[in-house]
Amino acid sequence: MTGLYVAAKPLSPENYYFEIEIVDPGNCSCIAMGIVPDKYPLDAAPGWRAYSVGYHADDGCIYKESGENGIPFGAKCNIGDIMGCGIQFSKSEEERRKLDPDVQVLFTRNGKEVGTVTVPYPPGGLYPAVGMESDGAKVRLILDAEWQYELHASNLDGLTPSYPGSSPIHNPPVPFVHHIGGLYPNKMIVIHGIPFPNPSRFTVYIQQGNHHEPHEIAMCVDSRFWFNNETNTLVRNHKQGGWGSEERTVPYFPFAPNVPFEMTILVEHNHFTIAINNQHMFEFHHRLHPVAKYDMIRIDGDVRLTQVRFQG
């Protein structure tokens, strides 16, 4: 492996799950994620050594305590896919050690369970790990905001943390789908972008899960330049199985083709507050509860994103 990231703290009943998003698979998609013991060698992929297991993006195989003979496990993963890994802690740490030396490790792909693997649990615990052996590969690491960690491999320039208050995401591709860790008061999402020269529409979804127009969408903001004979219309709605009633009233249409904009979405106790170019534009009351379960943002349509960041 050309580089391995190992978190500074092991998974625990409080912080038991993490994800990566593949931003760029590089030249061969050789990206692996999983869990490893303390003092794991930095030139080995997750799953290649004792007490470790890893899900590998390039072949969809699981590797458990061996670098040979990966076992077919799930689908291959590529750009935009989100791979997740966690430990199913069923008891307190002290009770678990007394009763069972093994743990069940769960892997997910794009929010859906791929499968579980049983691995022995070492005395020092099991740590989140990401390995890359693919020129140009970039992944986004999704951890709990309170989970402090450090990088143990200096050559993982493509690995960046993503959590509220983390570094901005520059020039992401569209459609842009990203984990936001749930909604809560004072959380803020700031979107910088440029509509296409001849746009039809672009849309921002705050939703549950990462699918296009899933069953539940807490808020959809649809900016229509020219769509279904509508011009310069800003439509807001929610979805729970079917779409709700639309809201359209705004002081003015704030976007123009090929002109940069900044959209700020502020989560408040009873509603979202949206400002565009530092001007208050509208409020959208929470129609679905609890809002904490809405964990993804999706942006698609005729727009080029230059920066997205999360605060609060």
Residue-range domain boundaries for the chain: 3-162, 169-311
Fold agreement (3-162, 169-311): yes
Number of CB atoms found within 10 A of residue 23's CB? 18
Asked if 267 and 190 count as a contact pair (C-beta separation under 8 A), the reply is: no
Question: 136-180: per-residue pLDDT in tens?
Answer: 888 888 865 333 233 333 334 444 444 444 568 888 899 998 888
DSSP H or E stretch at residue 93: helix 93-99
> Cβ neighbours of residue 307 under 8 Å, at least 6 residues apart?
168, 169, 170, 171, 190, 191, 192
Whether the CB-CB separation of 222 and 203 falls below 8 Å is answered with: yes
Q: How many helices (H) and strands (E) does the chain have?
A: 1, 24
Residue 123 has pLDDT above 80, yes or no: yes
How far is CA 275 from each of CA 80, 170, 230, rounded to the nearest angstrom?
Answer: 28, 21, 22
3-state SS assignment for residue 86: strand
pLDDT at 92 over 70: no
**Would you state the structure tokens that stand for residue 174, as one six-digit string?**
């569209």
Provide the pLDDT confidence category of residue 2 given band limits of 50, 70 and 90. low
Let me know: does 286 contact 296? Beta carbons within 8 Å: no
Please state, in angstroms and rounded to a whole number, the distance separating the CA atoms of residues 10 and 4: 15
pLDDT tops 70 at residue 235: yes
Homologous superfamily of 3-162? SPRY domain (2.60.120.920)
Mean pLDDT across 297-306: 95
Whole-number Å distance between alpha carbons of 235 and 233: 6
CATH 2.60.120.200 fits 169-311, yes or no: yes
pTM: 0.51
Rounded distance, CA 298 to CA 178, Å? 7
